[in-house]
């Protein structure tokens, strides 16, 4: 094997390994089935409510919605998230997390009002949830099962989630 070929293999292996690093965070431990588990963190809602994520996911699946007031993609996604909460709130718990980057609580409260976001929202000033869920860019959607498994994580709204909730197959 030539030195050039060996170097290309090492570079390719490094990039392949780097692609898995975000999914092997210490916060997201593998369960026995090999799935990723959500960290159990404290959610401090702007309305004063405080609860652990586990308290919520044990009752029903949870959608975590990471967003920012200045994010154009969030402005497009927020109406769908609000409709999901309004239409399927009995089947899934929607929790909003403002990532608090280049944002203020005043702007956030105006956004909550403008988009009629009537589900629990947290201003993640300490970036605790944002870092634990490896949020890099907004929006980010994370769906947790009733066992705390991370079923979905993407920058895209989980298409078809309403159909799944209609079938109660979470």
What domains does the chain contain, in order, with CATH numbers?
A: 26-167 (3.40.30.10)
- b/e 105-127 (16+ beta carbons within 10 angstroms → b): eeebeebbeebebebbbbbbeee
**pLDDT above 50 for 5:** no
* Residue of 146, 160, 18 whose CA lies nearest to 80: 160
Instruction: Confirm whether pTM is higher than 0.85.
Output: no
d(CA 68, CA 114): 14
Q: Identify the band that residue 11 occupies on the pLDDT scale cut at 50, 70 and 90.
A: very low
* 143 CB neighbour count, 10 Å cutoff: 21
Q: Are 154 and 72 in contact (CB under 8 A)?
A: no
Q: What is the mean pLDDT of residues 51-57?
A: 89
For residue 45, the 8-state DSSP code is B
Residues in the chain: 170
Q: Identify the band that residue 41 occupies on the pLDDT scale cut at 50, 70 and 90.
A: confident
């Amino acid at each position: 094997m030539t030195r050039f070929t060996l170097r290309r293999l090492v570079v390719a292996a490094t990039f392949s390994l780097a692609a898995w690093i975000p999914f092997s965070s210490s916060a997201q431990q593998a369960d026995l089935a090999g799935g990723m588990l959500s960290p159990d963190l404290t959610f401090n809602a702007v309305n004063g409510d405080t609860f652990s994520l586990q308290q919520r996911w044990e009752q029903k699946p949870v959608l975590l919605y990471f967003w920012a007031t200045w994010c154009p993609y969030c402005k497009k996604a927020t109406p769908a998230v609000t409709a999901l909460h309004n239409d399927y709130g009995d089947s899934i718990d929607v929790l909003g997390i403002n990532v608090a980057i280049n944002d203020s609580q005043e702007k956030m409260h105006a956004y909550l009002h403008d988009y009629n976001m009537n589900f629990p929202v947290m201003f993640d000033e300490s970036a605790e949830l944002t870092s634990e869920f490896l949020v890099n860019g907004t929006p980010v959607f994370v769906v947790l099962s009733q066992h705390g498994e991370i079923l979905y994580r993407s920058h895209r709204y989980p298409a078809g989630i309403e159909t799944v909730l209609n079938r109660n197959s979470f």
